[in-house]
Each structure stands twice: as C-alpha cells, then as structure tokens.
Chains A and B, each alone.
Chain A
Amino acid sequence: MSILVIAEHDNDTLKSATLNTVTAAAAIGGDVAVLVAGSDCQAVAQEAAKISGVSQVIVADNVAYANQLAENMQPLIVELAAGKTHILAPATTSGKNIMPGVAALLDVAQISEVTKIESADVFERPIYAGNALAKVQSLDSVKVLTVRTTAFEEAALEGSAAVEAHGAAHDAGKSSYIGEEVVESERPELTAAKVIISGGRGMGNGENFSILEAVADKLGAAVGASRAAVDAGFVSNDMQVGQTGKIVAPELYIAVGISGAIQHLAGMKDSKVIVAINKDDEAPIFSVADYGLVADLFEAVPEFESNL
C-alpha cells in the first residue's frame, strides 16, 4: 500500500485537517507520503515532516500552487499518483474542490467524506445528510478519498520524514486567485450555525446573555433563546429556538438555564451533540442532553468560557 495525502495549509502553517487525514491513511496501512503544494511553503513542509507515520513529504513549491487552484493542483497530483494505491485529502472545501477532478483524470471514482476505514478498499461514509451510513467497496486500482476530519483523531507530531522537492510546475492558465474575505466576527445565523448556545429563563435578564456571547465568540457560535426567555423580554423574538421559533440542528447545542419544555425540544432535538447546564437536576432538558452539568450557570458558564 502506498498512500499520498494532500496537505491542507495556507503556505505558512499546516492545517490540523491534514493530521486527521494522515490518521485515516495510517488506518489503511502502508507507506504514507504527504504532498505540500504551495508557494513559499517550506515551513509547512518542515511541519509536515514531523507528522507521525509519514515517511516522505513531497514539496511542490511554485507560485502556480499558491492558492491551490484545482486546475493547477490536479495535473500535479495525477503526476504523483503513479505507483500510489490511495490518494487522500481532507473533506474540506479545498479537498472537495480538487479531488473529484483528480479522480476523473485517473478514471476512477472518488469516495467522499469517509468516516471509517474498514479495510484497504472498504470505507464507510454518511449519505442522506447522515441519516444513513453506506459501506462502499472501491473496485479501482487507485482509491481517491476525501476524509471527514471529525471522524479521525489528529496524528501526533513526533516523526521525522524525508522532505523532497518536486519541481514540475503546472499552470493551466485558466484560473487565478483574486482575493479572500474572512468571515467577520459577526455571529452566524441560528439556522446555519455549527454551534449554538441558548439561554432560558434561568438567565434572569437580558444583560446576563453577555456571558453566553462571550462563549459564542470563542466558539464561532450563534446565540439562541428559549420561548420562556423571549416571553420574559430578555431577548428578541428572532433568537427563539423551538417549535414556534427556529428549528436548528447544529453540531453542538448548549442549553443554558433552559428547563426543556417540549416546544423547545422540538426545535433542537436533532442537534448532533447537546449539552445542558442547569441547576435543577430534574430538568427535562437532561433527558436529551449528551452531557449534562448540574451547576449554577453564572459560575459554570464563565468557567467554561475560560477553559476554551
């Protein structure tokens, strides 16, 4: 088995998604090489060389790869695919952008968002927005995979792989990078947020929501509220999560001082992970929470924030 992992980076630092992907590669077993394609990206290559389980780092350092444009990356990866059994990239927007074309040029399938390596050719991946899990066997000689990073641990940084330069520059000349706009610190929309922290009547008043906002700023979360908090006039109507408010299903939902009335549960019960912080240990919210913390929210929430 000979595996190529496409590194995710911004020319300065290696993104942790690469570490998760290497773990997935290691689960397949065999020789793992990492491709760092970028411009002025030697520092990234040095970092990649430290990833445990990686035997070789290939650096393609050329302005053509500065922004990892798909049109330029694809011929490079196809070139390096010779002799490889697997090519892996994290299922980030970058990996998802580049890899299907690589697969097409190799005339093989891509297996997207792999969450589990069953064997060298059998993989598990979610379909129907995670409402079903498919076990897929690849029949191709080269397996092109994107890896859902949250499904794999980060590899350790205790290795020392050889770093080799790869000279070929491919500039398809069809695309160019104009600019990037990093999302402002403004909080995401409730329905689009990956993390939501909501407060209930237990918040006491509207000002106290600031302790939730502090957590939200750290987690890139949206701030929501229960109907009780809205009715009590703490916060505005558009923050209401629940049957009569917004229906949400984030990765992480943190319910603070919310008892868990059925109307509220109806609006958030499909969240992936639910945390409840409430001082009443009988509160119904605990029956749906993955992690419950019975505590005074005015102590627990600031402590939580400082621990992030």
Chain B
Amino acid sequence: MNSYKHPYKDVDFVIRHLLNFDAFCEQNKIADMNSDFTAVILAEAAKFATHQLDPLNQKGDLEHPILKDGKVIETPQFAAAYQEYVAQGWASLSASEEYGGQGLANLLSVACNEIWQSANMAFSLCPLLGQGAITAIERHGSEYLKEQYLAKLISGEWTGTMNLTEAAAGTDLAAIKTQAVYDDGQYKISGQKIFITWGDHQMAENIVHLVLARLPDAPAGMKGISLFVVPKYLANEQGEYNIENDVRCLSLEHKLGIHGSPTCVMSYGDNDGAIGYLVGEEHCGIRYMFSMMNHARQGVGVQGLGVSERAYQAALDYACERIQGSDKAGNALKIVQFGDVRRMLMAMKSGAEAMRALCYYAGLEADREQASNSSDEKAQFAAQTAFLTPVVKGWSTELTQEMVSFAMQVHGGAGYIEETGVAQYVRDARILTIYEGTTGIQALDFTQRKTLLDNAAQAQVMMEKIAQTCALNELDENVKKALNSALADAKQGVEYLLENPSQASFVANYYLQMWGYTIAGWLMAKAHLAATKELQIGAGDNDYLTTKQVSCEFYCEHFLVRTQACLASIRAGGDSVMSLTEEQFFSHVN
C-alpha cells in the first residue's frame, strides 16, 4: 500500500488562482488569512493525515469495532489518533472563537476535510458528524446548552452524533416514533434509532447525541418532531459529566464498507427514559435539521472527493510499477504505458480535480454568505449554496463510484484481492450515494426545491455565470466550444423541466448529473484560463500548469460531453420509465 500524499499543488491552485481566495480575504478584511497561510495550515494537516490517519485506514477495515458488555470498543489505535487529532486542535478549525474555535473560513474546513477523508474515511466520519451537532447547538440551542456543550464539542473532547433514522423512518422522517415526554421538569426520551454512526465508542469522555423525537401532543408528520440533546453522560451536582444516561448501543451493523466506523442501533430509555434537553422550540426539529443539511451534504461530497483522490493515487503508483508484456523490441512495459490504463488514470485525475473545484467553490460560497453585510446579497449567496448542495453531494458521490471502480480496474485481479487496499476504497465509497440523502433524494431536492420552486431563478444565475466565462476571448477555443455546448444542454434541460414539471421525478437524476458535469465543467474551464494566465506570467510551476490545462481539456472531451446523453434522457421523459405495471416487471419469471 502506498501512502497518501496531499495534492497540495492542485489544492493551492484551486484556492489561489481558481477561487482567488486572497481577494476574498482582502475584500472582507479577514485578518491574517490568505492563500500562503492556508497552504501552511493544510501542510500540517496533511502531515498528520499521512503519518497518523492513513496508516490506520486498512486497520479499521480489518479490525472492526466490537460491542462488548454494552460498550463499543473502536478499532485499536483509533482512540490515540483521535486524541492526537483533538490535541492538535483540528476539531476546532471553523467553529466560532467565542467557544474556543479558530473561526477559520469554511473553505479551509472543506480543504482539511478532503485531507481527513482521503486518509481515513471511517475515522473522519466521527469529527464530521460532531460538526453537525456543533452547528445545531450553535444556531438553535439555548444559552444553557451552548455553555454546557459547545466548548467541549468544539475542542473535540466530546463527540457528537445525529439520530434521525428509525427502522420504519428512513427517508421519510415523518414516520419517526421515538417519544419524548416532559416529566418533572425534564424531557425523557425513549425509542430506538438505527444507523447511528459513531453512536458509541471509548475515544472521548462524552458523546452528545442529537435525537429527533415526538412529543405526545405533537401534530402529525414532519411538523411534530422536536430535536433533543441527549448526552451519554449527565452532569452530577458538581457539574461533572459522569452519570450514565439511559442510552446504550444495542448492536452494531455489519456493513459493506467503512468498517472502522461503528454503525450503531441506539436504544433510548430502556429504564426510566433518557434525559434530553430540547434544542430551540418544540416541534421545530426538522427545520433545525434542514439548516444543517447544506453543510452535512456538502461534507459527504467532499468525502467522495477525498476517497477518489486517494484511490487515484493508489492506482497511479500501481500502474507505474506493474510490469506486463513487452513492446516489439522486447522492452518490458509498465501498464501505465497502455492506452486504456491511461484513459482511466486521466479520468480519475481530471474527475478528482473537477470534484475539488466544485466542492471548494461551493465551500467558499458559504463563506461569502457569512461575510456579506447586505441582507440581499446574503440571501443570494445562501440561495446559490442551497442550489449547489445537491450537486456537490449527488454528482460528486456518483462520479466517485466510477473513480474508485477505475482504481480497482487499473489494479486488475490484484485490485479485487483485498491486499492491495484498493478494494476497501470501492467498498467504503459505496455508502456515499446513500447516506445523508440518497442520490434520488438529492435529485428530487434539486429539481423540485432548487429549480421548480424558484422557477429556475438560481439555475438562471448559474447559467449567466457560465455564459460570462464562455464570452471571454482568452478562453481556449476547444474548451469554449465544449462549455458552450454543455450550457446549451443545461438551458434546454431547464426549459424541459419548467414545461414538464410532472416529469420531474423521472428525469431528476439526469437533470442533476447534467448540472454537475456542467458546473464542474465551468470551473474546469476557469481553471484552464487561470493556468494559461499563470503560464503567461511565467512565475509558476510550468509542469503543473500545463498538466492542469491537459486535465481540463480531458474533462471537456470525456466528461462534459455527458450532458448530451443526460439531455437526451431528460427529453425522453418518464414514458418508458413508468409504463410497466408492477406485474410486468415479473413477466420474465412468472
């Protein structure tokens, strides 16, 4: 197994030249922050990830967490790595300074997240989820909750979990049955939650569960669900958190991948009821959950980027070492010399770069929203972020499946054998299109809420941005042609959707993917422009910059063209999708 190398040059290029982070920092008077300093921070993060987290990745896969005497014991050495992660302050990166965070830009947190996810996805899920708990309490929690929980969660001394799903309430949260009762001045929670990532472990002093539950008098459906903080340990009279709450892990799921991350069935209130603290107001839990959605879903998109990059690095090393066959002169050939292997390596390279451009771009949009002083502008940035979120999640994680599959394909038979480690990436990556809302949910969100609901206003904003880039004289002719063509496809896709809203659910995925390829294509075109400009200035790394140009060109030729197929399927609408009866599906076997 090779070891993870931070793709620092591409990361730096995206932050410095594609996103022009320095200008953003200057405009918004963010003291002491710029691309140079970002590079310093990321280099340190990368060092830790390469030396401490990456080597534990396979260990987590092989030595699953176990449930022993009601406690989840995580993979050996994970606890030490987690404590190191906390001691180094990485958990506190973007959280507010008021509670001990470093208050750094969201873009930095995205860039760090890429590093953690590349090195060890199963491990890094733990802090990623903690982020959700922090955001929920920060935005919606009472002063008491903030005071009691925020500093510990931000420092990472305590971890956080999200408890949404139940056996009968997966995608449909309205079906949640977990009960909360107000009794003797306290909320008591009882019920069972499933799929709780890092629901229990021994890495931290306390675990803060955010639990969706229903109060007895609650209205039916989504508007009757409240959000509670349920800690694993409650405070005693001295304020020390050492009283066991009525919550435990019942069992661990056996999964295809991310074995190092315990997926728990959690039981609340087996005895008297688990003591919980209401977040915000009663019955508003779903709304609060949705307010964290952009962040969480984009986080999963970044996981896709991370694992794609990592799998690409493994494949690249293997392709440059593995010798198979020889040329006519009898010289041994490395498989990297074969055309089809090259195609896959280029696809992984340019695919990962396109995902990076998209994830980082969307990450900075959130910073722009945060930094803006005008409420109109803020609202516009928020709307663009909301528009981008399902694309970041749904497009990146779907493309990730292709990327990790290529990585295995390059390895040939050796890749299918667990020893090379690449099989783990394929298995780990598979969850990404499923959790935090399946691709189908992302596509629905994107067509219904993000396109039809605003009459394609945000789609229009994006199309205008792309058109502006297309209008630039200095843009490479071939790139321009490809981008123009994709833009035309996107336009027609939007028109079709607006004219045929009844077809939305049938074409949603094509519509989402078409936009993914187009927006990422736009960013790759801008990257091509920026690389060309840097080459003209002549002070940069020519080798990297020309490589970047080629990568952008490859993207145009091999990925951006996929909008054509997407559009064709969109136009076909739902006829063939829906015309069979359920019985007819069985006609070949009945």
Chains A, B in direct contact (C-beta < 8 Å): yes
Which residues of A are in contact with B by a Cβ distance under 8 Å? 227, 243-244, 262-263, 266
Nearest CB on B from A248, distance (A): 15
Which residues of B are in contact with A by a Cβ distance under 8 Å? 1, 58, 321-322, 414, 419-421
Q: What is the CA–CA distance of A62 and B291 in the complex, to the nearest angstrom? A: 82
Q: What is the CA–CA distance of A207 and B138 in the complex, to the nearest angstrom? A: 62
Is there an interface contact between A262 and B419, defined as CB atoms closer than 8 Å?
A: no
Is there an interface contact between B322 and A244, defined as CB atoms closer than 8 Å?
A: no
CB contacts (< 8 Å) of B414 on chain A: these are 262
Is there an interface contact between B1 and A243, defined as CB atoms closer than 8 Å?
A: yes
Is there an interface contact between A244 and B321, defined as CB atoms closer than 8 Å?
A: no
Is there an interface contact between A227 and B322, defined as CB atoms closer than 8 Å?
A: no
CB contacts (< 8 Å) of B420 on chain A: these are 243, 263
Q: What is the CA–CA distance of A116 and B465 in the complex, to the nearest angstrom? A: 64
Question: Interface majority SS on B: helix, strand, loop or mixed?
Answer: helix
Is there an interface contact between A263 and B321, defined as CB atoms closer than 8 Å?
A: no
CB contacts (< 8 Å) of B58 on chain A: these are 244
Q: What is the CA–CA distance of A227 and B1 in the complex, to the nearest angstrom? A: 13
CB contacts (< 8 Å) of B1 on chain A: these are 243-244
Q: Can you give 14 contacting A-B residue pairs, CB < 8 Å?
A: A227-B419, A243-B1, A243-B419, A243-B420, A244-B1, A244-B58, A244-B419, A244-B421, A262-B321, A262-B322, A262-B414, A263-B419, A263-B420, A266-B321
Nearest CB on B from A171, distance (A): 46
Determine which residue in A243, A262, A263, A266 has the highest number of CB atoms from chain B within 10 A of its CB, and name it: A243
Q: A244-B419, A262-B321 are in contact. List 4 more A-B contacts (CB 8 A).
A: A243-B1, A243-B419, A244-B58, A244-B421
Nearest CB on A from B324, distance (A): 10
Nearest CB on B from A96, distance (A): 29
Closest-by-CB residue of A relative to B418 is: A244
Nearest CB on A from B455, distance (A): 55
Closest-by-CB residue of A relative to B321 is: A266
CB contacts (< 8 Å) of B419 on chain A: these are 227, 243-244, 263
Q: What is the CA–CA distance of A262 and B412 in the complex, to the nearest angstrom? A: 13
Q: What is the CA–CA distance of A243 and B417 in the complex, to the nearest angstrom? A: 14
CB contacts (< 8 Å) of A227 on chain B: these are 419
CB contacts (< 8 Å) of B321 on chain A: these are 262, 266
Nearest CB on A from B79, distance (A): 21
Closest-by-CB residue of B relative to A231 is: B419
CB contacts (< 8 Å) of A263 on chain B: these are 419-420
Question: What are the nearest 6 A-B pairs in CB distance?
Answer: A244-B1, A243-B1, A244-B419, A263-B419, A266-B321, A262-B322
CB contacts (< 8 Å) of A243 on chain B: these are 1, 419-420
Q: What is the CA–CA distance of A262 and B420 in the complex, to the nearest angstrom? A: 10
CB contacts (< 8 Å) of A244 on chain B: these are 1, 58, 419, 421
Q: What is the CA–CA distance of A244 and B321 in the complex, to the nearest angstrom? A: 15
CB contacts (< 8 Å) of B421 on chain A: these are 244
Nearest CB on A from B94, distance (A): 35
Nearest CB on A from B453, distance (A): 51
Closest-by-CB residue of B relative to A266 is: B321
Nearest CB on A from B297, distance (A): 34
Nearest CB on A from B323, distance (A): 9
Closest-by-CB residue of A relative to B317 is: A266
Q: What is the CA–CA distance of A227 and B420 in the complex, to the nearest angstrom? A: 12
CB contacts (< 8 Å) of B322 on chain A: these are 262
Q: What is the CA–CA distance of A227 and B321 in the complex, to the nearest angstrom? A: 19
CB contacts (< 8 Å) of A266 on chain B: these are 321
Nearest CB on B from A265, distance (A): 9
Nearest CB on B from A262, distance (A): 7
Q: What is the CA–CA distance of A269 and B322 in the complex, to the nearest angstrom? A: 13
Closest-by-CB residue of B relative to A269 is: B321
Q: What is the CA–CA distance of A263 and B420 in the complex, to the nearest angstrom? A: 8
Q: What is the CA–CA distance of A9 and B268 in the complex, to the nearest angstrom? A: 75
Closest-by-CB residue of A relative to B417 is: A263
Nearest CB on A from B435, distance (A): 29
Q: What is the CA–CA distance of A266 and B314 in the complex, to the nearest angstrom? A: 13
Nearest CB on A from B253, distance (A): 27
Nearest CB on B from A94, distance (A): 34
Q: What is the CA–CA distance of A244 and B59 in the complex, to the nearest angstrom? A: 11
Q: What is the CA–CA distance of A266 and B58 in the complex, to the nearest angstrom? A: 18
Nearest CB on B from A268, distance (A): 13
Q: What is the CA–CA distance of A244 and B421 in the complex, to the nearest angstrom? A: 9
Nearest CB on B from A124, distance (A): 30
Nearest CB on A from B537, distance (A): 31
Nearest CB on B from A243, distance (A): 6
Nearest CB on A from B47, distance (A): 18
Q: What is the CA–CA distance of A236 and B390 in the complex, to the nearest angstrom? A: 48
Closest-by-CB residue of A relative to B58 is: A244
Q: What is the CA–CA distance of A247 and B58 in the complex, to the nearest angstrom? A: 16
Q: What is the CA–CA distance of A271 and B508 in the complex, to the nearest angstrom? A: 56
Q: What is the CA–CA distance of A266 and B420 in the complex, to the nearest angstrom? A: 11
Q: What is the CA–CA distance of A262 and B414 in the complex, to the nearest angstrom? A: 10
Q: What is the CA–CA distance of A244 and B419 in the complex, to the nearest angstrom? A: 7
Closest-by-CB residue of A relative to B323 is: A262
